[in-house]
Chains A and B, each alone.
Chain A
Amino acid sequence: MSFLIRSHDPTQPSPSEITPQPIYRGRREWLQGLAAGAALAAWPAREALAQTRLAATRSALPGALTMEKQTSRQDATSYNNFYEFGTDKADPAQRAHTLRTSPWSVAVEGEIAKPGVYDLDSLLKLAPMEERIYRLRCVEGWSMVIPWIGYSLAELIRKVQPNSRAKYVEFTTLADKAQMPGLRSGVLDWPYVEGLRMDEAMHPLTLLSFGMYGEVMPKQNGAPLRLVVPWKYGFKSAKSLVRIRFVEKQPISSWTRAAPQEYGFFSNVNPQVDHPRWSQATERRIGEDGLFAKKRPTLMFNGYEAQVGQLYAGMDLKKLY
């Protein structure tokens, strides 16, 4: 009788589960009213209110709107890695205020027909803004659920017209000692460099993100624009981008340069391939699992296997980790 049952992808919301826009907008305004009241007492919330709203419509892309409980904005903006501001996960929120996000421009160059320097305004207008709720899995073993705002990187890629030699895309983060105190340490070779294979960069889930939680990107989370690749460990999603270069040879990302035996080029979330120094089978969901709760199992490709699994068909993911 199985033909009578309409198959429903459990990772996708059914239309009835999606909150209509007027209702969730109303809820948000109500919540913001609450936050405004709390802000009088709480310093972090006051900082939150200083953010500018960024309009977006909910993404219609399959897999782009997880129904899992969202991580609180407070946790997502106060606990993250951004080594340019220090190696402690509390450092970015405390020290990223020195980052100047305006004026900002991104050099788009390499194997493309239309290289150029794009200012932030033109990038903001390049394609319609979507809200996408992605799981984020850090290589360190913790995870969050974050509502990002942006558009598929593919939109930008199509505009600049890569040629046949463009096999990979290399992303470079700002490296300015005057704005980023973490650069004084030799933890990594600066600037921070990341890379994607062309088909990964073109995948619609790969997001060029300008905001989160309905607002422009907070400085500590990689303002004014960053990459979000939800099926890869978080460090692949380079922040505060200043250069996007299309290249023929596979770029060497910063973490691969620092420890090639620990961080491969692909770095797909994979519970079966452990980090040499710790297990990747489980993760701690920030803000949700109680102090004494067991960690949750990590999902293959961070739960995006249905969307991205075919990109890696035939590849030995144990070797190409």
Chain B
Amino acid sequence: MSPLLRHPAAKPLLFALCALPLAQLVWGAANNSLGANPAEALIRGLGDWTLRLLCLSLAITPLRQALNQPLLARFRRMLGLWAFAYASLHLLAYAWLDMGLVPGDIVRDIAKRPFILMGFLAWALMLPLAATSFNRAIRALGGARWQALHRLVYGLALVGLAHFIWMRAGKNDFAEPAVYGLLLALLLGWRLLRAMRR
């Protein structure tokens, strides 16, 4: 497995894979093939992929340790940054397509729909992580401080999940949030167990 992970094409391949859902959504929007409500499909698609990539980035460390594949760590930053990219586009699509970029409407909407504030909070918590994702920032902060800062991801993942659960609460339909909830419980629970054993 490690020659595969070390392969020079591995990172570009992962990059392309992460870009694929976005390309599909943009293609669908351009060709009007996103169904009857393309704005809704676009906003929800971007949100879904934010959660998926966030879960994937959180799966790297458990997989790396469980499979004894230290090289997996090479891909963690890219997954995290793609999660941030999808989250940013999700926010932009909401503000633009749903709210017409009218600040007053957005403020009123947030007052009406607190789950949007949760989503915004999750995105805002991603900002310092994205801003300190490059090597120089890691060196400047020092490994320990950098790691402490990046533990924010556990909290923001839960805030993002709450955003999704709250949004679906309107339909009384928790099947899909439950899948992400279970996944996050596994990924975070695994870390908790390891921390306690130490």
CB proximity to A under 8 Å, residues B18-33: 29
The B contact surface, by secondary structure, is helix
Among listed A151-159, A276-284, A305-313, interface-contacting one: A276-284
**Pairwise interchain contact B173-A187, C-beta atoms closer than 8 A:** yes
For A187, list chain B residues within 8 Å (CB): 171-173
Question: From A72, which residue of chain B is reached at the shortest CB distance?
Answer: B36
Question: From A275, which residue of chain B is reached at the shortest CB distance?
Answer: B112
- Asked if A291 CB lies within 8 Å of chain B CBs, one says yes
- Asked if B170 CB lies within 8 Å of chain A CBs, one says yes
Question: From B34, which residue of chain A is reached at the shortest CB distance?
Answer: A291
Using known A-B contacts A274-B112, A277-B113, A278-B112, determine if residue A294 contacts B100 with beta carbons closer than 8 Å: yes
**Looking at the complex, which one of A75, A79, A142, A291 makes contact with B97 (CB distance below 8 Å)?**
A291
B interface, how many residues as a size bin? Answer: 20 to 34
Question: From A186, which residue of chain B is reached at the shortest CB distance?
Answer: B172
For A75, list chain B residues within 8 Å (CB): 36
Question: From A75, which residue of chain B is reached at the shortest CB distance?
Answer: B36
- Asked if B35 CB lies within 8 Å of chain A CBs, one says yes
**Pairwise interchain contact B112-A277, C-beta atoms closer than 8 A:** yes
**Pairwise interchain contact A287-B36, C-beta atoms closer than 8 A:** yes
**Pairwise interchain contact B100-A79, C-beta atoms closer than 8 A:** no
A interface, how many residues as a size bin? Answer: 20 to 34
**Pairwise interchain contact B36-A87, C-beta atoms closer than 8 A:** no
A302 to B29, CA, bound (A): 29
- Asked if B37 CB lies within 8 Å of chain A CBs, one says yes
**Pairwise interchain contact A78-B36, C-beta atoms closer than 8 A:** yes
Question: From A90, which residue of chain B is reached at the shortest CB distance?
Answer: B35
Among B38, B40, B96, B175, which residue has the most Cβ atoms of chain A within 10 A? B40
**Pairwise interchain contact B35-A79, C-beta atoms closer than 8 A:** yes
**Pairwise interchain contact A292-B97, C-beta atoms closer than 8 A:** yes
Question: From A262, which residue of chain B is reached at the shortest CB distance?
Answer: B170
A185 to B112, CA, bound (A): 28
For A185, list chain B residues within 8 Å (CB): 173, 175
**Pairwise interchain contact B35-A78, C-beta atoms closer than 8 A:** yes
For A295, list chain B residues within 8 Å (CB): 100
- Asked if A107 CB lies within 8 Å of chain B CBs, one says no
- Asked if B39 CB lies within 8 Å of chain A CBs, one says yes
A12 to B97, CA, bound (A): 32
**Pairwise interchain contact B173-A87, C-beta atoms closer than 8 A:** yes
A–B pairs, 26, beta carbons within 8 Å: A75-B36, A78-B35, A79-B35, A79-B36, A87-B171, A87-B173, A90-B35, A142-B37, A185-B173, A185-B175, A187-B171, A187-B173, A258-B172, A274-B112, A277-B112, A278-B113, A279-B108, A279-B109, A279-B112, A284-B39, A286-B36, A286-B37, A291-B42, A292-B96, A294-B100, A295-B100
B interface residues with partner A (beta carbon < 8 Å): 29, 35-40, 42, 96-97, 100, 108-109, 112-113, 170-173, 175
A interface residues with partner B (beta carbon < 8 Å): 74-75, 78-79, 87, 89-90, 142, 185-188, 258, 274, 277-279, 284, 286-287, 291-292, 294-295
